[in-house]
Chain A
Amino acid sequence: MKIDHSLPLEYSTEENRLKVLGFWIFLGAEIMLFATLFASYFTLVDRTGNGPSGAEIFEITPVLIETVVLLTSSFTIGLAVHAMRLGNKKAMLSFFAVTLLLGAGFLAVEISEFVHYVHIGAGIQTSAFTSILLTTLGTHGAHVTLGFFWGLSIMLQVAKRGLTPETANKSFIFSLYWHFLDVVWIFIFSFIYLKGMM
């Protein structure tokens, strides 16, 4: 495997460059996936049947907590990649750990939010609106959950194998994924929660 030392570690081999581009294309597909969910959400948002509307069930406090936690985690994963480029494995792992902890915090709040929705009679079977709401939020949440375990396995590999072109590549791609989830959340926050509460 030829390593080009003039480039950052995550771009340093041919295989790494292929993987980064491939992942960007994958994110293109993910954009389409969430765009479809949003389009369906906008179509079904007012079709509440006998169930409640968004204005009746949304609460600002947990949503604000989720937003702050997730945005911060996007910042810390950026710091982790920065530490990685400086070659500081310990700092990188610490920022990675903070990121995943924040991700877990986000998930905890989201799960309690879902339990609350089901409790007040806004489950996934209630109406078209609740179906698409919980599916859209749930798809994002499932992505965060997957990211949590994925990130964990990358941390283990970095801890065990050190910063190699391979682990650096994985970490960098993970950071792209994590930023992407944050961007999707900004849309969820703006167009589902804020718009729904207005």
Chain B
Amino acid sequence: MDFFHRFAVPHPNPAIYASMVAIGLTVIAIVAGLTYFKKWGYLWREWLTTVDHKRIGIMYLISALLMLFRGGADALMMRAQLAVPENTLLDAQHYNEIFTTHGVVMILFMAMPFIMALMNFVVPLQIGARDVAFPRLNALSFWLFFMGAMLFNISFVVGGSPDAGWTSYFPLAGNEFSQSVGTNYYMISIQIAGIGTLMTGINFMTTILKMRAPGMTLMKMPMFTWSALIANVIIVFAFPVLTVALAMGTMDRLFGTHFFTTNNGGMDMLWANLFWVWGHPEVYILILPAFGIYSEVISTFARRNLYGYKSMVASMVIISLLSFLVWAHHFFTMGQGAVANSIFSITTMAIAVPTGVKIFNWLFTLWKGKIEITTPMLYALLFIPLFTIGGVTGVMLGMSAADYQYHNTMFLVAHFHMVIIPGVVFAMLAGLTYYWPKMFGFMLNEKIGKLAAWIIAVSTLLAFMPMFFSGLDGQARRMYTYSEATGFGPWNMVALVGALGLAAGFVLIVYNIYYSTRYASRDISSDPWDARTLEWATHTPVPAYNFAVVPQVNSIEALWDAKKKGHVLFKGKYEKIHMPNSSGVPFIMGVIFFIWGFAFVFAIWPLVILSTIGIFACMAHRSFEKDHGHYISVEQIEEIEGTETKLRGAN
């Protein structure tokens, strides 16, 4: 019995039991559906074994949207609990678990895969490449992320959720204060997903540096590709730090080491330092590609080339360097002394300068543009003022002396939500709408899309502006309730309304996807937005090989200049194209990693050893395998290129 007792949820409540039932029913429905429609073979051949960067991108996208709703449910529960004083909807323990999983899910399992989705789909197309540098590694990256996310998500029905905050500070996250396996889940699922992310970083750096179309020098790359390159450089240098920190944390919890303990020499502040040496650059891994999306969207719909291309690139490089020099601003008040605080205060505030440069570049792009307000553009236009609120409050927090007032209050919570939602989430929704026709061959409904954008923008203000005020009044974050005398009640009620509005906005986006899938015209051109960069020079849907003939690039906006100045993009005739084969190994390896992670969480050592052997067996298999891919013949290319409209399903 002792063995099975570990898998029980330590703090059960009706919501968790309801979730268990829901998960069970969903799994049964999916299995039954796949069997009934005989789709197992299709699923395996076309998706689970795919190494096509476009399909991997779409799988990232689906995962990100699913996780958005999981993290969103957490958010709604939190806001509902805080809406009125002395509320008893959730108890303290449950609240701790929810804000922890909300943070982890939203940053690592929603925002990251959303970025990865767009990066995977867009970057190879934008640089005129046929694939990424290491297609199979790319599939493995996705499956590691996915299995890490699933492992994290089963925590609330098997063994208990992590409850030490998304920062998992020791000694709170140590065995003494976090006795359930929740924090084990945290350490190991993020480790697995993080390894996947690191491999993506290596893969895309190589892809962007080595696989650009002829003529595309570094300074002729589209802005989104630039932002992806910089983000991947940050990934490669930041994620190993997380790897080490998580490994140490795991060892402290499972092997009795003394890295972060409070006895035998352990140092809990070491965790805080390592975590934020990764964690601060992480926010720029998220925000820079988002800036890249805005640059694409704004120049497309202002019908104008991006103002200040070189300063955009320079500002991203500067941001990437500064991002590694500011981590200690996360603990100004933990006693590190005035000199350290001053240095980190100045580097932190300095980031506002290159960020401001970017904001002004977008404004100048708009200045003389012929603005066309589409849904993606609407997100971009709403982003500028909302993000500026978040940015300016960031500078306020960056002043270490003043931070003694703000720290650990809802002011901080409001700040980073006002940065991340308009910055990252709006960008991802803009990118989703912008690239949707390229991904799926039809456009999302503009009317519903714009309505959703307005609802989300207004709700963002409603949800987070009140927190600035209650935070300045002293409402602490992470507190599961407060007394009526504090006067925080009305502010929090408004925030709940905002949170519900946000939920409504996201549901409306889902409805839009459903509505457009049913009713939108399939008869769109391959360039429905009249865009400027190479990804729109492909057919829709994009053939497996992307470009039948490798494009020749002469300028930053290759497609635009081909359309307007008569540059010839595609010279020469078709030649057979070499493409990688699909493989089931990345998926299988992902599954083994999942088992490995699960066994590790519960310290089932025989299974850990067994699955470790399995992982190495997969690697050895790859090493000895002779797989030279396959060729697509000229006849096949001609056939595919000639049937573009048929492929789209248009009549």
- Which chain A residues border B259 with CB–CB below 8 Å? 40, 44, 128, 131-132
Smallest beta-carbon distance B617→chain A, Å: 12
Say if the beta carbon of A32 comes within 8 Å of chain B. yes
| Range class of the B interface residue count | 35 or more
Give the nearest-CB partner of B241 in chain A: A36
Indicate whether A105 reaches chain B with its CB closer than 8 angstroms: no
The chain B residue with its CB closest to the CB of A31 is B240
Whether B265 and A29, one on each chain, are in contact in the complex, defined by CB atoms closer than 8 angstroms, is: no
Q: Confirm or deny: B620 has a beta carbon within 8 angstroms of a beta carbon on chain A.
A: yes
CB atoms of B205 and A25 under 8 A apart: yes
Q: Closest residue to A46 on the B side, CB-wise?
A: B265
Using a CB–CB distance below 8 Å, which chain A residues touch chain B? 1, 17-19, 21-22, 25-26, 28-30, 32-33, 36-37, 40, 43-44, 47-51, 124-129, 131-132, 135, 149-150, 153-154, 156-157, 170
Interface residue SS majority, chain B = helix
- A64 → chain B closest CB, angstroms: 28
Q: Which residues of B contact A32 (CB under 8 A)?
A: 236-238, 240-241
Contact A127 B240 (CB under 8 A): no
A76 to B241, alpha carbons, bound, how many Å?
A: 32
User: B258 touches which one: A21, A29, A49 (CB < 8 A)?
Assistant: A49
The answer to whether the Cβ of B350 comes within 8 Å of any Cβ in the partner chain is: no
Assembly CA distance A153 to B624 (angstroms) = 8
Complex Cα distance, B258 from A51, in Å, reads 11
Top 6 A-B pairs, shortest CB-CB distance: A47-B265, A128-B265, A49-B264, A49-B265, A32-B240, A131-B257
**Helix, strand, loop or mixed for chain A's interface?**
helix
Residues of B within 8 A of A (CB): 133-134, 198, 201-203, 205-206, 209-211, 236-241, 243-245, 247-248, 251, 255-259, 261, 263-267, 270, 274, 277, 578, 616, 620, 623-624, 628
From B269, which residue of chain A is reached at the shortest CB distance?
A: A43
Contact A33 B624 (CB under 8 A): no
Query: Could you tell me if A22 and B134 are in contact, using CB atoms closer than 8 angstroms?
Result: yes
Are the C-beta atoms of B624 and A21 separated by less than 8 Å? no
Cα–Cα, bound, A49→B256 (Å):
14
A54 CA to B270 CA, complexed, in Å: 20
Residues of A within 8 A of B628 (CB): 1
Would A128 and B244 count as touching, CB distance under 8 A? no
- Residue of A21, A29, A170 with highest tally of chain B CB at under 10 A: A29
In the complex the two chains form, is A47's CB within 8 Å of B266's CB?
A: yes
Contacts A132-B259, A135-B251, A135-B257 given; indicate if A25 touches B236 (C-beta within 8 A): yes
In the complex, A40→B256 CA distance in Å? Answer: 17
Q: How far is the CA of A129 from the CA of B624 in the complex (A)?
A: 41
A135 to B237, CA, bound (A): 20
Q: Are A17 and B210 in contact, with the CB atoms below 8 A?
A: yes
Distance of A136 Cα from B616 Cα, bound (Å): 22
The interface residues of chain A lying within 8 Å CB-to-CB of B201 are 25, 29
What is the bound-complex CA distance between A22 and B267, given in angstroms? 36
Choose among A1, A26, A48, A170 the residue that contacts B265 (Cβ–Cβ < 8 A).
Answer: A48
Residue contact A29 to B239, C-beta cutoff 8 Å: yes
* Minimum C-beta distance from B494 to chain A (A): 43
Complex contacts, A25 vs chain B, CB 8 Å: 201-202, 205-206, 236
Residues A135 and B264 in contact, CB atoms below 8 Å apart: no
15 A-B pairs with CB atoms under 8 Å apart are A18-B134, A22-B133, A25-B202, A32-B237, A32-B240, A36-B240, A37-B244, A40-B248, A44-B270, A47-B267, A51-B265, A124-B255, A127-B265, A131-B251, A132-B259
> Which residues on the A side are within 8 Å of B210 (C-beta)?
17-18, 21
* List of A residues within 8 angstroms of B245 by Cβ: 36
Could you tell me if A33 and B240 are in contact, using CB atoms closer than 8 angstroms?
Answer: yes
Taking a contact as CB atoms under 8 Å apart, the answer to whether A43 and B620 are in contact is: no
CB contacts (< 8 Å) of A128 on chain B: these are 258-259, 261, 264-267
The answer to whether B264 touches A126 (Cβ under 8 A) is: yes
